[in-house]
Amino acid sequence: MNKELLLKNLRNIPDFPIPGIQFKDVTSLFKKPECLKELDDALYELYKDCGITKVVGIESRGFVLGAALALRLNAGFVPIRKPGKLPAETISESYSKEYGTDTIEIHKDSIDENDVVLIHDDLLATGGTMLAAYNLVKKLNPKKVMINFLIELEDLKGREIFPEEADVKSLLFVEGA
Ligand code: AMP
């Protein structure tokens, strides 16, 4: 993987969406074909031999390469969405954020006990969103659940909230502050 190319093209937006946040804008990578291909190839190399049957993407930046990876792995793609967006029967998980709480949902019939699942999102900050997604997917009793991010804000130590068995992997490591 060409890390230099990816890091060079990753746009940082200071003080977005609130003062003090250094926002890593992954759309600056998605819009460049050479960066999109680097990310897609790197994900495929990382997960091609893991027996994954479902890739779960977290709304909305997790949909882009989550769906692309699912296609390459010959796996299904499953969205995790904000409340009220999925049309069939769902299960949900609530979690606390810096201000207030948030809820995410998944279709109840999207995963079963024969599935090996990879949950994918663009970026690991505190890990709160992904931990809720992990707990949500676990409720559906798949054989195994793994976790992937494109970018990890290493200094925030978000990975420490996940159990060892979640096998958290990221492609790029950057400073969050
Ligand atoms: P967290 O639950 O703190 O790990 O972050 C939740 C979501 O917010 C991630 O999926 C990211 O899409 C987004 N996010 C949080 N912090 C940043 C940041 N510094 N730059 C870009 N996206 C962020």
**Residue 170 domain-assigned?**
yes
**Residue 124 domain-assigned?**
yes
User: Which CATH number goes with the domain that contains 105?
Assistant: 3.40.50.2020
What does the pLDDT read at residue 95?
A: 94
User: What's the DSSP call for residue 103?
Assistant: E
Alpha-helical (H) ranges within 10-138 are 27-30, 33-47, 61-73, 128-138
Query: Is 159 one of the catalytic residues?
Result: no
**Residue 74 domain-assigned?**
yes
What does the pLDDT read at residue 148?
A: 98
Interatomic CA distance for residues 83 and 139, integer angstroms: 17
Token pair of 140, please?
């559906």
Find out whether the beta carbon of 158 lies less than 6 Å from any atom of ligand 1: yes
**Residue 81 domain-assigned?**
yes
Query: Is 72 one of the catalytic residues?
Result: no
Interatomic CA distance for residues 35 and 27, integer angstroms: 10
What does the pLDDT read at residue 38?
A: 98
Token pair of 90, please?
């769902």
> Which residues form the domain of 102?
51-174
Find out whether the beta carbon of 128 lies less than 6 Å from any atom of ligand 1: yes
pLDDT, block means (10 residues), the chain with 177 residues:
97 94 96 98 98 98 98 98 98 88 97 99 96 98 98 97 98 92
10 Å CB burial of residue 138 (0-12, 13-18, 19+) is middle
Q: From the CA of 123, how far away is ligand 1's center (Å)? A: 6
Interatomic CA distance for residues 64 and 57, integer angstroms: 8
**Residue 112 domain-assigned?**
yes
Find out whether the beta carbon of 21 lies less than 6 Å from any atom of ligand 1: yes
Residue type at 76 in one-letter notation: G
Closest residue by Cα to residue 68 from 34, 44, 38, 33:
44
Nearest CA to ligand 1 atom 10: 123
SS3 147: strand
What does the pLDDT read at residue 176?
A: 86
**Residue 160 domain-assigned?**
yes
Which pTM does this prediction carry? Answer: 0.97
What does the pLDDT read at residue 48?
A: 98
**Residue 87 domain-assigned?**
yes
Interatomic CA distance for residues 28 and 17, integer angstroms: 17
**Residue 127 domain-assigned?**
yes
| Total structural domains within the chain | 1
CA angle (106, 110, 115) in 5-degree steps? 120
Nearest CA to ligand 1 atom 19: 23
Interatomic CA distance for residues 85 and 98, integer angstroms: 23
